[in-house]
A and B are shown apart, each in its own frame.
Chain A
Amino acid sequence: MTTPTTTVPFRRSTTILTLVAPVAVLACATLVAVSWADDLPDPVAVHWGAHGPDGFGGLASAILPMVVVGLLTSVGFWALSFWAGRSAATRRLAAGTSVGLAVFLGGILLGGLAGQRGLTDARDAPGPTTTILVAALAGIVCGALAAVVSPGDPERPATAPIDPHAPRLALSGSERAVWQRTATSRGMVVVAVVAAVTVLAVTVVTRVWALGLLTVAIVALIATMAVFDVTVDDRGLVAKGLLGWPRLEVPLDEVVAARATTVVPVRDYGGWGYRVGRGGRIGVVLRKGEALEVRRTGERAAVVTVDDAATAAALLNTLADRARA
């Protein structure tokens, strides 16, 4: 098939949000840290154990790991959204992760050092719990902000009819139809419950109550990532999490063709959940096996692992035919 190659849209804003902004955050954090050099003990505390600081080093050894991890992540996600960011979800995930991680790492660096200003011995450095909490919160907020301001997908109605070889369903002209199915990841639910219980136990034993927030985060992750309601009707495809979010939508007028396919989560998407896969395909990947694949205008694609995907694909193609006739 000869489809014209469309360039990836919004490359400039992608570069600003996913590369320039996080690099600027890391650079500022580095400059502030260096400007504190005279107030800081030498060596500074760079690692904390259960009983206070247990790792020490020069100022550079506090700065470098944060900056290197932040830079590598940011460059990686920038490359992903620059070359494969055809879907808004890819661009949002990339910008959110880069900015969020840069703010988190910068916050950890500055928070850890701020408590040591004026000290002569780094062994007196205060514990890192508050710093980690504040940095994590700031990272999440800034990451979410970057994701929100990333440009969305403009409407791109398809002009061509659906591929005549794509599967169809016999539907009379006056009939209306809906296909609905709930897709659940049993494995994800089991792993998350075990993780939540373990973290809760560790929280109680170590009395680091901030860890309890991790339990909350894991439960939130199950609610948003392990169960999706998938619907095909005359508005198109919608897959939505238990709380109504996240949502993966393909409007009927942007459907190029739908089919049933097979997904291998780690090979195709690097894991499970709401993901960006090879070639920038957006996937709701809950298990291995049967999946509904919807090719969309602008060389985008959406994939949902769900049973009875063949019926869903046939109905979507049939409804799209009807709307385009």
Chain B
Amino acid sequence: MLIRIDPSSADPLFEQVGQQVRALVARGDLPVGTRLPSARDLAASLDVNLHTVLRAYQDLRDDGVIELRRGRGAVVAHAPDHAPLHRAIAAVVAAARELDVPPATTLALLKEALR
């Protein structure tokens, strides 16, 4: 799994970590049962505070994406089939490109619609 965060972005770091894992699970890149790196290791790798990763993992657990087990760390718990969503997103991207709508505008529209 590749996780990337951008400290210069407005989104909090724990949210960025959570979003990355969510996307990987939703795309099927992290099948059910996959062991995630320990919060300590991930925090060291990304040079962020341990609590940033712990908060991301706790949010993921609250949403049922991962299970946190004592001693075994974080394990992917649930990988739903999001294929229709991926198709719809691909359609949105295609439409935005065709209409020359900038990514920021498309994102703003999506965020608005998701509210």
Contacts and interface: CB of A to CB of B under 8 A. Distances in A.
Q: Which of A172, A177, A235, A311 has the most CB of B within 10 A?
A: A177
Contact of A176 (B4, B34, B37): B4
Contacts of A171: 4
A163 to B, nearest CB: 21
A178 B42 CA distance: 8
Contacts of A174: 6-8
Contacts of A175: 4-6
B105 interface: no
A235 B47 CA distance: 10
B109 interface: no
Interface string B31-68: 00011110001101111100000000000000000000
B2 A176 contact: no
Given A176-B46, A231-B41, A234-B47, A182 B4 contact: no
Interface residues of A, number: 18
B23 interface: no
Given A233-B45, A311-B2, A180 B37 contact: yes
Interface string A172-200: 10111111111000000000000000000
A229 interface: yes
Nearest to A169: B2
Interface of B: 1-8, 34-37, 41-42, 44-48
7 contacts: A172-B6, A175-B6, A176-B48, A177-B2, A178-B2, A178-B45, A180-B36
